[in-house]
Amino acid sequence: MNQEDRIKNFDEFWPYYVREHSTAGCRSLHFIGSSLGLVCLAATFATGNLWLIPLGFALGYGFAWTGHFFIEHNRPATFQYPLWSFRADWKMWRLTLTGRMDMEVKSATRS
């Protein structure tokens, strides 16, 4: 991808991100990893153990990247768009939690 092809804002990034997460298995692994990351964050506040923060990142990204490499067979968007990808992870987590992510996938893969 050359410089002119780069996505310029989050609204452009979101449909690309959704297409990169088109399989339910990959999205499930993302949801599990992100949820474990939240558990680690909460446990950090409860215990004061700061080592739980890197554990949370390792679990979150470990589950997500497993989904990309072994289910989607693509490269995680984090490598090229780390901040938008992090933001989109949490948007996807919220939409998955509320049962609306499948509709996002249908919409993004139609266009």
Task: For residue 14, tell me if it sits in a domain.
Answer: no
CB-based contacts of 97, cutoff 8 Å, min separation 6? 31
pLDDT grade, residue 80 (50/70/90)? very high
Query: Structure pTM?
Result: 0.91
Task: For residue 64, tell me if it sits in a domain.
Answer: yes
Task: For residue 76, tell me if it sits in a domain.
Answer: yes
Task: For residue 90, tell me if it sits in a domain.
Answer: yes
**Alpha helix (H) residue ranges in 48-81:** 52-67
- To the nearest 10 degrees (0 to 180), the angle between helices 10-19 and 101-110 is 100
The whole domain housing 59 covers 22-110
**Which percentage of the chain shows pLDDT scores above 90?**
93
pLDDT digit string, tens, across residues 6-55: 899 999 999 999 999 999 999 999 999 999 999 999 999 999 999 999 99
Task: For residue 32, tell me if it sits in a domain.
Answer: yes
Total count of domains within the chain:
1
pLDDT at 111: 66
